Amino acid sequence: MEKHLFLIILCVLLGRVGYSQQEIKGIVTDETGHALPGVSVSVRASNISVTTNTEGAFTISSPTKQAVLTFSYVGYKTLERQAGTEPLTVRMEPDETALDEVVVVGYGTQKKSSLTGSVAQVNATEIKRAPMGNITHMITGRLPGLVLKQSGGQPGADASSMNIRGASSFASSNNPVVIVDGVRRSFDQLNPEEIESISILKDASAAAVYGLQAAAGVILVTTKRGSMGKPSINFNTSMAMNQNTMFPEFLNGPEYAYWYNKARMLEGKDPLFSNASIRKMLEGDPEGKWGNTNWVDEIFQTGHSQNYGVTVDGGTEKLKYYFFGGYYNQDGNVAHTSFERYNIRSNINATITKDLDVFVGIGARKESRNAPTFSTEKNEWNNIFQQAMRAHPYLPKTYNGLPTGNITNGPLVSPIAALDQSGFKRNFAEAIESTLQINLKMPWVTEGLSMNVMGSYDHRTAYAKAFQTPFKMAQGIVTAAGISYNEVESSIGQLAKLAENTSRRGFLTLQASTKYNRSFGKHDVSGLLLYEQYRTNSNEFSISTQGLDFLELPELDFANELTAAAGAFGGSSSVVPNAGFVGRFNYAYAQKYLLEISGRYDASYKFIGNKRWSLFPAVSLGWAISEEAFLKDKISGLTYLKLRGSAGKLGNDTGVNAYTFLSTMALLSSEASVVIGNEPRNAYITNALSNPDLTWETATIYNGGFEANFWDQKLGLELDWFYKVTDDILESQGGTFAPSVGGYYPSVINTGKADNRGFELTVNHRHALGDFHYGAQFNISWYRNRYLNIRESANIQDHLKRNGREMNEKHGLVALGIFQTDEEAQNWPSIFGGNRAGDIKYLDVNGDGKLTYADDRMWIANSNVPQLNGSFSMFFDYKNFDCSFLFQGAAQAEYALSGYYPGIGYDNTEFTSPFFQLGNAPKYLVENSWTPDNRDAKYPRLSDIKVQNNKWASTLWIVDGSFLRLKTVQLGYTLPLQVAKRVGAQSIRFNVSGGNIFTWTEFPYMDPEAPDVSNGYYPQQRTWLLGIDVKF
Amino acid sequence: MKKYLMAFLSAWTLGLGACNDFLDPDPTDRLSDKLFWEKEASTDLYLNSLYTYIPSYGNFGEAQFNDGLLTEGMTGMLKYGAYSAGVGNANRIVFNPYFVTADQSQGLVIWPTSYNRIRRVNEFLAGLKKYASYPQEVNDRYEGQARFVRAFLYYQLLLRTNTVIIYDDLPESNNKPLSTEEACWNFVEQDLDYAIQALPAKWPENANGRITKGAAYALKSRAMLVAKRWAKVVEAANAVIQLKDNGALLYDLNADYKNAFKSYFQGNPEAILEFRYQLPGPYHTFDRKFAPGGDWANNGGAATPTQEMVEEYELATGGKPNWSEWHGTTNETPPYTLLEPRFQASVLYNGANWKGRKIETFVDGKDGYVDYGNQALTYGKTVTGYYLRKYLDESISDISTTYSAQPWIEIRLAEVYLNLAEAAAKLNDEAAANDAIRKIRNRVGLPYTDQSGDALFTAIRHERKVELAFEGFHYWDLRRWRVAHQELNNVRFHGLKITQQGANLRYEYVDCDREDRKFPERFYNFPIPTTEIANNVSISQINLW
């Protein structure tokens, strides 16, 4: 009894001592600085333990002064901290042991450790390290294997083109199929906030379940889901400004006069601009006739964009919800180009009974794009950029109150008026995407069995309205006597034109599946059987009118007549159905030996008979070799090592037009073609010859790789190597038939064959030094493809053959240099005759003493798509600061400054021919053109007209497309919790981000990702952004 | 739970069963070809597409040049003002013959488009044989029209390349050799002979505009002239001239030359084969290309008549005026108003009445003048001091908002008379030749005295040049007569530059070429495209190319 009393007293005393001395307080946050409730906090070597409250705060009593506290929470690394006199602020680190990471795969998820296929995934945290904008820009460099190329910067139309592991087919699309929440949908107009993860399926094993459409790889996008816990409300907003990355500088007024005069004199013509005129350009003209206008600068301004998003998420065990509403708008850095988007999402998971789950996901968005009548699309006729490059800089912006402009070899140009006065093109799109999924576990049949039905209906409408308003302009005409002006109509003409078109698409998907998932001791078995069908119904119609009584009312009701041009009205509809069966079987023994067999028995309505259905199987094996006794704990530092390999077959039917198995006829023209019996009548023409034997392209992919982890995840390594053969490639036969056959052959047949090989290597490092956390990732990938069998003309010359060469190489003449004398030029073979000093000297490749474009061109440059891609990214977290950056690099790509125009062939562009089409010229070009006093010039002779000899695609116009770019930078600061709480928030984070900050490349006048035929294009944008995230 | 299970199982079976029907929708944006042979109205819709080939080799079409150029632009008749790609192609060809190559045919080689069309005709004929079950007479009419179009296409090919590949049915191989010149023309003749016997002289009102027997005869007279089968020319030409329907002659020269380009169905008895336009479609853009610059600022005037062509016209009373005064510099007004009706109908000159105004071709006039070679495009200004008038529609008040719809007269009776004259002269039937020329000159009130021998041939050439000026004949005629290498080689042509001097106008004879034109020997036989040579192993490039 005494003993007991003593102990009690001792305890009380000790307790009192401990209590009075050591009441430890603190706050626990997650990795982003948000309060983390429910974290278990305990004193080491004791049973004293508390959990954090909803604000992440805790108070714990410790018996000793030097208590070490242990913090643990599911999904986070367990931390230990020494208590001090100050309140503790503890930031938890997510437990991203790569092995437990869950990866989204086709029709399901898998633990990364059990993966045997090649899959890469990026999650929300990483996506958000880039400035908010188009999602395709935000994931650039973060998914090894995904090659992205941004070829323009137009608001709302600046998504990068994507392919997985480079091109493998030379006839069909190499665009991966995109699946959002299990359904074929696009993701580039989702608000990045809605996206939880993006995975890419690279090899046959991962993609076989998508059968006929998977040959180019698959992108799986998953939207966010509700999580258990108290509702959290998150508000984020950002504001950004955008400017061109690069655009060549064009001549100003006096420079233009100087170089144009010089060009004329070299052609034996008199100069056009007098010194007096040039003086007026420089010093100002009292009559206002001469000016000095930088039209390129005039059309560009600083663009702005804004983003707002509200997320509500939370739930209980029975019901989890995620709601999101977002708004994004961008005013382009070209006036009157803008984009606006609203996104809404509601994802709800409900557990109805213990075996029955229901998921309802609804996403909706509304987009509108605004542009002036004169297009801002690349390569479109007379687009704004082309006008700016062709407008003459000696003109003032206005004359007599009218916008000025000049005529070119083609239309009148007046860039500012074209932006401000030409009317508008407005595009509207709305989409509602809905999914209902019912999941039923069936333990009463057998443990681990479940059934699932999913139905989805997406409805998309698009509507466009284009209104062209005529305007008057002052056309400047320069003669030797000076400059005069004519008041003329713009190239729109005298009548206003109004055109509208609308289209709607309904897309219905049904899936029914059975899943089985069970462990028997060391044996893990799972299986999937699934039937899927989907169908698109679409229709559209359009009308175009002219002559409106009131320009204030651009409505069809007020239009006077149909335009007397082709396509005054039109309409059509189509049905696109598909169906397939999916199967997958996984087996793992002791998490060491892994096997997966998967496949899809798939059908396409584009084929008939025995060509309709086909099986696309794949098999893959994995061996977690580090788990073997002979390795486990034997090699110091090696935490995990898995070898894996796969082989399988995938299909691609995207290159096939529907109904090529039928002989069909089409309307020759959308309006009457002939007049018979005094009436206009239609005419019909046969479509291309039917080909009932047509089938899909088949890709066979072999993939091998390993994943390794060293020093307890500090260093991660992942390597994938693959070889892919694509067979039965749809080849257009056109080039290999004599034209006398008149096109009487099926336009495509399955004869092509190509291969593609490459690797992806990822190196990862993560480390923490006290409060300083950092990580780095380096990705490199390389791909090279080849034509193994491509149809070539019967009499083709060896140096033009493509078999064995890489895809999309550029062909052209080989420039040997520039003729220095007329005599040298005349004694050298020429295509058109009449060469002189300053013209390009070409190699007579076949050595026949004659130069022809058909015979003497050869393969001179790589494709525009880089073969070597890499990125290096880092992030740092220190207390309330975080910082990240990403460098993107690409090599083994080349682009041509001369353009290729489908159906016309190669030709000059603004970038290769001074005063092209009678426009202005870029400064670098004239300054580096050959003239008698600049004989070492890089470019051929200066001329005021297009020189035939120098127009060909040749090595002279090839530019190295390699580049290194500081793609994204982000600096974030999270306010101390105490400060955030004062305004009622749980956390507040500010960030400054940048996109496309610096680019290092050979040709510094143009963005290295610029499109091929550059008749003016919307330049890529450099972005600076300021963002705020508030969580309540 | 059973309920759920049933739902799942039925979803599965539904999927399985529905599959095949589900994957076989009917196409909604195209029609099966068989459907077109079930009734005549549908077959007519198919046939209509073959009709669109007829105007495409003419002035309103774009088949013979990629920018719809007039071939006269390569002769001394007409001068294009531009020298840049596209609309300047005629100049690029005449100054630099290397511009025409087998791989860059620049439109002079019509091989691929024409063979595609020949295949379309053969496809129609094959479909007719395979699917149609019409009465013989209906079948014959379809076949007659299609074969006429085929003959027309082969005629166009043979005009350019002397020997071609014959496809009388759908191609079965890639490697068909060239046929002899003899066989090629035989093939054209057979198709036309078939058309002559199969086609009616006149179609019912609701089918007017379809190819007639007269058109087939007329085309035969034209084709046989190129083939140098003189007797067949005479025979065919006479057949057209004498062709009757219900006892009345079907064709006659229009009393007024300027109305000879109107539609047969609007009372022009001279039109034998025509293609009509009707707004909003089908339409063409001839006025936009060739109207004088004053009609629409910066537009039109692509090609303009030369001084040489103007001087080819006679006075209304016969005989040519003395132009020597205008071969220098003078303030005298040229005798435009005294020239014959064909000049008045074909050429616009300074001071001519046009759309309620006077044409101003002087420097800085409303229509304007610019020296050739000074700028790559003329923007509606003339480089010769004239504008084209033939084929322009004076009734269009605003060409910037209205397209053109005047009919394309592919064959008119005056040509048939001239074909007859030339062939008859070759057959030494000078009376018939003189008779035909007189007919042509009578219509425009010009006197004529019978000619003989070389003088007769000179008279025929002059008459062809003037009567059929700017109608697409002259370049081919010069080649056919083998005089192009003399008349179009090492020559320059001229214009009249008019400048205002106070109240007066000064006329200055100017070189509108500024360099010598070239016509190499190989232009008598245009090349076979490189793509044909590359893919057809039974063929090799013709000599000189």
Nearest CA in chain B to A613: B20
Q: Do B401 and A546 touch (CB under 8 A)?
A: yes
Q: Using an 8 Å Cβ cutoff, are B199 and B148 in contact?
A: yes
Q: Do B376 and A945 touch (CB under 8 A)?
A: yes
Q: Do A680 and B45 touch (CB under 8 A)?
A: no
pLDDT of B10 above 60: no
> What are the DSSP calls for A867-898, one per residue?
SEEEEEEEEEEETTEEEEEEEEEEES-EEESS
Closest residue to A684, CB basis, from B49, B170, B275: B49
Give the model's confidence band at A804: pLDDT under 50 very low, under 70 low, under 90 confident, else very high. Answer: very high
What DSSP element (H or E) covers B237?
helix B230-241
Q: Using an 8 Å Cβ cutoff, are B75 and B492 in contact?
A: no
Give the model's confidence band at A537: pLDDT under 50 very low, under 70 low, under 90 confident, else very high. Answer: very high
Q: Do A562 and B534 touch (CB under 8 A)?
A: no
Closest residue to A575, CB basis, from B25, B123, B170: B25
Total number of residues shown for chain B? 545
* Nearest by Cα to A981 from A189, A31, A89: A89
Mean pLDDT across chain B: 92
Largest CA distance in chain A: 128
Q: Using an 8 Å Cβ cutoff, are A276 and A337 in contact?
A: no
Is A744 within 8 Å of chain B by CB? yes
**Tokens encoding A330:** 């961008």
How distant is the Cα of B248 from the closest Cα of chain A, in angstroms? 21
Count H helices, E strands: chain B? 17, 14
Contact list in A for residue B278 (CB cut-off 8 A) is 672, 675, 680
A998-1012, B139-153, B177-191, B304-318: segment of lowest average pLDDT: A998-1012
For residues B50-61, b (16+ Cβ closer than 10 Å) or e, as one string?
A: bbbbbbbbbbbb
Nearest CA in chain A to B532: A738
Q: Do A605 and B11 touch (CB under 8 A)?
A: no
Nearest CA in chain A to B208: A677
Give the model's confidence band at A442: pLDDT under 50 very low, under 70 low, under 90 confident, else very high. Answer: very high
pLDDT at A317: 84
Tell me the pLDDT tens digit for each residue of A661-698.
Answer: 888 898 888 778 999 999 999 999 998 888 888 899 99
Q: How far is it, in rounded angstroms, from Cα B76 to Cα B47?
A: 39
Tell me the pLDDT tens digit for each residue of A892-943.
Answer: 999 888 877 655 567 788 899 999 888 999 999 999 999 999 999 999 999 9
Q: Using an 8 Å Cβ cutoff, are A152 and A1018 in contact?
A: yes
Question: For the residues A387-407, what does the mean pLDDT come to?
Answer: 94
Tell me the pLDDT tens digit for each residue of B386-434.
Answer: 999 999 999 998 898 889 999 999 999 999 999 999 999 999 999 999 9
* Conformation bin of residue B38: beta by default, left when phi > 0, alpha when psi is -120 to 50: alpha
Q: Using the 8-state DSSP alphabet, how is residue B208 labeled?
A: T
What DSSP element (H or E) covers A923?
helix A923-927
pTM of the model: 0.85
Tell me the pLDDT tens digit for each residue of A771-801.
Answer: 898 999 999 999 999 999 998 888 888 888 9
pLDDT at A7: 47
Candidates A406, A574, A674: best to mutate against B (most CBs of B within 10 A) is: A674
Nearest CA in chain A to B406: A675
Mean pLDDT across chain A: 89
Q: Using the 8-state DSSP alphabet, how is residue B281 labeled?
A: S
Query: What values do phi and psi take at B534, rounded to 5?
Result: -70, -30
Tell me the pLDDT tens digit for each residue of A238-249.
Answer: 999 999 998 899
Closest residue to B29, CB basis, from A573, A578, A833: A573
pLDDT at A16: 44
β-partners of residue A539 are A504, A573
Nearest CA in chain A to B265: A678
Q: How far is it, in rounded angstroms, from Cα A154 to Cα A157?
A: 5
pLDDT at A14: 44
Q: Do A672 and B281 touch (CB under 8 A)?
A: yes
pLDDT at A12: 44
Closest residue to A742, CB basis, from B15, B171, B277: B171
Sign of CA dihedral A284, A285, A288, A289: negative
Q: How far is it, in rounded angstroms, from Cα A779 to Cα A139?
A: 13
Q: Which residues contact A884 (CB under 8 A, 6 or more apart)?
A: A129, A873, A874, A875, A876, A968, A969, A970
Q: What ipTM does the predicted assembly reach?
A: 0.93
Closest residue to A739, CB basis, from B1, B297, B529: B529
Q: Do B403 and A683 touch (CB under 8 A)?
A: no
Candidates A668, A740, A831: best to mutate against B (most CBs of B within 10 A) is: A740
pLDDT of B15 above 90: no
A608-617, A927-936, B129-138, B439-448: segment of lowest average pLDDT: A608-617
For residues B140-168, b (16+ Cβ closer than 10 Å) or e, as one string?
A: bbbbbbbbbbbbbbbbbbbbbbebbbbbe
pLDDT of A54 above 80: no
Give the model's confidence band at A1010: pLDDT under 50 very low, under 70 low, under 90 confident, else very high. Answer: confident
Question: For the residues B144-150, what does the mean pLDDT come to?
Answer: 98
pLDDT at A15: 44
Give the model's confidence band at B459: pLDDT under 50 very low, under 70 low, under 90 confident, else very high. Answer: very high
Higher pLDDT, B172 or B216: B216
Question: For the residues A4-10, what does the mean pLDDT come to?
Answer: 49
Q: Do B96 and A488 touch (CB under 8 A)?
A: no
Count H helices, E strands: chain A? 13, 58
For residues A768-787, b (16+ Cβ closer than 10 Å) or e, as one string?
A: eeeeebbbebbbbbbbebbb
β-partners of residue A431 are A365, A460
How distant is the Cα of A349 from the closest Cα of chain B, in angstroms? 18
Question: For the residues A762-766, what does the mean pLDDT come to?
Answer: 93
How distant is the Cα of A671 from the closest Cα of chain B, in angstroms? 6
Total number of residues shown for chain A? 1032
pLDDT at B474: 97
CA B207 → CA A446, B117, B136, distances in Å? 77, 23, 18
Using CB atoms within 10 Å of the CB of residue A270, give its burial: 0 to 12 exposed, 13 to 18 middle, 19+ buried: exposed
3-state secondary structure of A916: helix
Question: For the residues B322-336, what does the mean pLDDT come to?
Answer: 95
Which percentage of chain A shows pLDDT scores above 90?
Answer: 59
Q: What is the 3-state secondary structure (H, E, C) of B446-499?
A: CCCCCCCHHHHHHHHHHHHHHHCCCCCCHHHHHHHCCCHHHHCCCCCCEEEEEE
Q: Do B45 and A682 touch (CB under 8 A)?
A: yes
